[in-house]
């Protein structure tokens, strides 16, 4: 029961952080407190009160596939996720979109769909990286929380899924690596296990571990507090960089867990130190939600939640109940599947 509460917490935490960060994105409003923030809406996508943004919208296309417990590294699943992302773009579900994701999905807009769409999307992402050399935006990390629930008993399978889904749109290895670290922290948190970054990075290639330990440096209080000061500047222009997004989310989490009000403090710290407030708060919200569980999230925030894409069966906007259902199904069906596999 506690593990299911934390699984739901990862996804509700993501959506709540996203929704609370929306009004303050790129200094639309100056952030002072979270009081009433769920009722502001607005932001770059002119969202309704309580509405989550593109971050959680994109995550839900992954969740629709992960909910049946299937292996997200398989070509069929990746095709379904890619088709979801593309329909999000071509059907005009989105009202705001990251630059890199926009370029990529615009290129694929004429694609006639399955099968093989995921391979074409991944190729377009690699081509974009070859042209620009800069594709480590936070657009993969912002939708990654659900991956942490897909194989709760299997860190290698979780990491492989995080990489496969990230690489659909983001060819820079930093994007996939940030997603692997994020998913593994969520996985361990849901299981009720502690973690240190030095262990988490074992899931990366050996020559990539040092970079991430230094970048995140959460184990070292002195490094952590100087980093906190550096990152706390809301004018820091690098929020969109996946490494900085993850670092800020972890700083916010560490700050929150030291406080008397960990959920509120994590999310408000994430917003206060960011420009890309909804994404940093979504990532931080997923981490603290996985740690504390859905039952620790303020009921007025959960009640306010709403967003797209609509339920294909009813045409209704999704709510917190739908997020809970998808989180639970992903966690339970993934466990059932990994028990019957070779891992």
Among positions 47-76, residues that touch Mg ion (CB under 5 A) are 53-55
Shortest approach of Mg ion to residue 78 CB, angstroms?
A: 23
CA–CA separation, 245 and 247 (whole Å): 6
Q: Between 296 and 315, how does the x/- string for binding to Mg ion read (CB under 5 A)?
A: --------------------
- Span from 70-78, 123-131, 272-280, 290-298 in contact with Mg ion (CB under 5 A): 272-280
List of E strands, the chain: 306-307, 318-319
- Span from 34-42, 166-174, 225-233, 276-284 in contact with Mg ion (CB under 5 A): 276-284
Residue 21 or 293: the one with the smaller Cβ distance to Mg ion is 21
Residue pair 307/56 in contact by the 8 Å Cβ criterion: yes
Residue 278 touching Mg ion (CB under 5 A): yes
CA–CA separation, 242 and 249 (whole Å): 11
Task: Give the residue closest to Mg ion by C-beta.
Answer: 53
Residue 21 or 289: the one with the smaller Cβ distance to Mg ion is 21
Residue 21 or 148: the one with the smaller Cβ distance to Mg ion is 21
Residue 135 touching Mg ion (CB under 5 A): no
Q: Which residue has tokens 């990539």?
A: 208
Residue 37 or 331: the one with the smaller Cβ distance to Mg ion is 37
Shortest approach of Mg ion to residue 210 CB, angstroms?
A: 31
CA–CA separation, 118 and 183 (whole Å): 21
Shortest approach of Mg ion to residue 326 CB, angstroms?
A: 19
Residue 117 or 280: the one with the smaller Cβ distance to Mg ion is 280
Residue pair 73/24 in contact by the 8 Å Cβ criterion: no
Shortest approach of Mg ion to residue 44 CB, angstroms?
A: 7
Structure token digits, residue 221: 């209080």
Residue 53 or 264: the one with the smaller Cβ distance to Mg ion is 53
- Give which of 341, 343, 340, 301 is closest to 323, Cα–Cα: 301
DSSP string, 131-147: HHS---BTTTGGG-GGG
Residue 239 touching Mg ion (CB under 5 A): no
- Sign of torsion, CA 75 81 86 87? positive
Angle at 86 between CA 285 and CA 246, to 5 degrees: 25
Structure token digits, residue 225: 């507090």
Residue 105 or 329: the one with the smaller Cβ distance to Mg ion is 105
Shortest approach of Mg ion to residue 281 CB, angstroms?
A: 10
Positions touching Mg ion (CB under 5 A) are 53-55, 278
């Amino acid at each position: 029961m506690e593990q299911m509460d934390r699984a739901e917490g990862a996804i509700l935490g993501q959506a709540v952080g996203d929704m609370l960060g929306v009004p303050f994105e790129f200094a639309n409003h100056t952030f002072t407190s979270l009081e009433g923030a769920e009722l502001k809406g607005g932001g770059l996508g002119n969202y309704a009160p309580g509405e989550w943004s593109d971050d959680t919208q994109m995550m839900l296309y992954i969740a629709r596939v992960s909910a049946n417990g299937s292996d997200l590294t398989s070509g069929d699943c990746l095709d379904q996720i890619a088709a979801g992302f593309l329909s999000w773009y071509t059907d005009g579900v989105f009202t705001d979109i990251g630059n890199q994701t926009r370029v990529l999905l615009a290129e694929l807009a004429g694609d006639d769909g399955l099968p093989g769409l995921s391979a074409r999307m991944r190729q377009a992402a690699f081509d974009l990286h070859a042209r620009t050399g800069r594709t480590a935006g936070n657009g993969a990390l912002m939708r990654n929380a659900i991956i942490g629930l897909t194989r709760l008993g299997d860190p290698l399978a979780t990491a492989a899924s995080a990489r496969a889904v990230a690489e659909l749109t983001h060819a820079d290895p930093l994007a996939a690596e940030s997603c692997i670290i994020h998913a593994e922290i969520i996985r361990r948190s849901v299981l009720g296990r502690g973690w240190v970054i030095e262990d988490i990075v074992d899931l990366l290639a050996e020559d990539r571990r040092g970079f991430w330990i230094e970048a995140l440096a959460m184990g070292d209080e002195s490094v952590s507090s100087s980093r906190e000061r550096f990152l706390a500047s809301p004018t820091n222009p690098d929020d969109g960089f996946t490494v900085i997004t993850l670092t800020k989310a972890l700083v916010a989490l560490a700050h929150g867990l030291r406080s008397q009000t960990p959920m509120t403090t994590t999310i408000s710290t994430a917003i206060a130190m960011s420009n890309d407030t909804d994404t940093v708060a979504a990532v931080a919200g997923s981490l603290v939600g996985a740690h504390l569980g859905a039952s620790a999230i303020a009921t007025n925030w959960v009640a306010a939640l709403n967003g797209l894409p609509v339920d294909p069966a009813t045409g209704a906007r999704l709510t917190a109940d739908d997020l809970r259902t998808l989180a639970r199904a992903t966690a339970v069906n993934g466990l059932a599947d990994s028990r019957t596999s070779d891992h």
